[in-house]
Amino acid sequence: MTSNNNLLVLLPHTPTWFSMKLLTYALTAIVLLFSSCKKDHDDDDTPAAQPKNVKVGALLSLTGNWSSLGITSKAAMEIAAEDINAYMSHTGSNYYFSPVVFDTKLEAQLAEKYLAEAKAKGCRFVLGPQSSAEAATIKDYANAQDVIVVSQGSTAGVLSIEGDNLFRFCPDDHIEGQAMAKTIHKDGIKALVTAARDDAGNKGLQLSTGNAFSALGGDVSATNPYSSGSGTDFSALLADIKAKIQQHTGHYGASGVAVYMASFDECVSMFQQAASDPVLSSVRWYGGDGTALSAALTVNSAAAEFAIATQYFAPAFGLPAQAASKWQPLAERIKERTGIAPDAFALAAYDAMWVIASTYNAFPNAEAQFHYLKSEFPIEAGKYYGATGATMLNAAGDRAVGSYDYWGIAKEGNGYKWVEVGKSD
């Protein structure tokens, strides 16, 4: 039996008034039940889930060769973590980020040791290392142990490998070599004597610059790479460079001959020794990115004077003018903390941290498995525009494009400073 409006179902053989009473009791019970559940929920003192601490490792040279970049990269990474965590807190993200920094002293064995320690501490992303020698040493461990390595300074072309776990936020040495060769050729140089420290990155720069200069019609004489463990005695190397200069000056004159040196801070000792030789001081010298903005050069008067006398300059990964509103205030913050003006390699560490954070944020509900993080990272890099401009990566995981700022040394009062002297085409 049903009511006329078909909304109430009554029990068979039950009076209508009794069924209505049962319905009233039932509805009252339901209301009380829901009220009780809501009260229990409102009185629940269980705290909300806390954001997950994501540890990001860093392999940086803080006390060894190329420490200027290590120190400024550390500051950039820490500032990035502060900015990211403030943003994440505001947006209610499930993550916050903590840097875990190791001092590799630019030594490959220490980089390998500390990568394992970073892995043990739970770091799935590791920023650095700075040099290609370190990157070459650690890449197999990173591939085997599911660690994503994001270098801000490695440039060696031999490390441009598609599908591995090494990503690089700077262009490889082919791009830098072509830019430097074109600039040297435009300076009127006809013959180039090249030298390099015996490591993957600097040898790659020597080769790529020499090949590009030859392709432009230049004459190249390459010296054998020198050992990084040679200490401070570079007399044999300098004698070889001098002999090659003398061979070329007979054909082109001193103004048509130059030296290209791909090195790190050991160039200070080279310049000190070369300064007293009139042949070595008579031609122009150019450098690789490993010496640009190095504090080691500006604090040594003999080396700085040689650099000025030979119109020495070195390239640093360039900063786009259209991103000045991003990189200028960031550079000031880093300089305030370190006393060192950062280059684009250091600022790339800041951008890399943001891309790492965006990669995690692509999985807001639970931390993603490693292969998801690895596949998402280049996607997020392709979307990001930061202090160093667009961070799009190529198929090998290296920065797809880049230009260079050229930095030379100038006297300032009783000291010396780096000044921008030009840009690549």
Measured CA to CA in angstroms, residue 320 lies from 115, 225, 325, 326, 424 at distances of: 32, 33, 10, 10, 12
Per the CB < 8 A criterion, the answer to whether 195 and 262 are in contact is yes
Percentage of the chain exceeding pLDDT 90 = 84
Task: Give the CATH fold of the 174-317+405-423 domain.
Answer: Rossmann fold (3.40.50)
- Residue 347's nearest CA partner among 335, 361, 362 is 335
- How far, in Å, CA of 266 to CA of 291, rounded? 9
- pLDDT > 60? residue 159: yes
User: Backbone phi, then psi, for 162, in 5-degree steps?
Assistant: -70, 135
Between CA 275 and CA 267 the distance in angstroms is 12
Higher pLDDT, 23 or 130: 130
Pair type for strands 415-423 and 52-60:
unpaired
Residues 237-296 pLDDT 10s: 999 999 999 999 999 999 999 999 999 999 999 999 999 999 999 999 999 999 999 999
**pLDDT score recorded for residue 256:** 99
Place of tokens 């880093």: 334
Domains 54-173+320-403 and 174-317+405-423 share a fold: yes
Residue 17 has pLDDT above 90, yes or no: no
Q: What are phi and psi of 57, to 5 degrees?
A: -75, 165
Q: Residue 48 has what pLDDT?
A: 55
Q: What is the pLDDT of residues 86-102, one digit of tens each?
A: 999 999 999 999 999 99
Write down the pLDDT at residue 232: 76
Kindly list the distances between the CA atom of residue 185 and the CA atoms of 88, 298, 401, in Å, as whole numbers in the listed order: 49, 27, 22
What integer pLDDT is reported at residue 367 of this predicted model?
75
* pLDDT (mean) for 396-418: 96
CATH number of 54-173+320-403: 3.40.50.2300
pLDDT at 37: 42
Domain ranges of the chain: 54-173+320-403, 174-317+405-423
Gyration radius from the chain CA atoms: 31
338-358: average pLDDT? 97
DSSP element (H, E) containing 252: helix 235-252
Is the per-residue pLDDT at 19 higher than 70?
no
* Per-residue model confidence (pLDDT) at position 230: 57
Its pTM stands at 0.79
Alpha carbon distance 241, 3 (integer Å)? 108
pLDDT of 30 reads 39
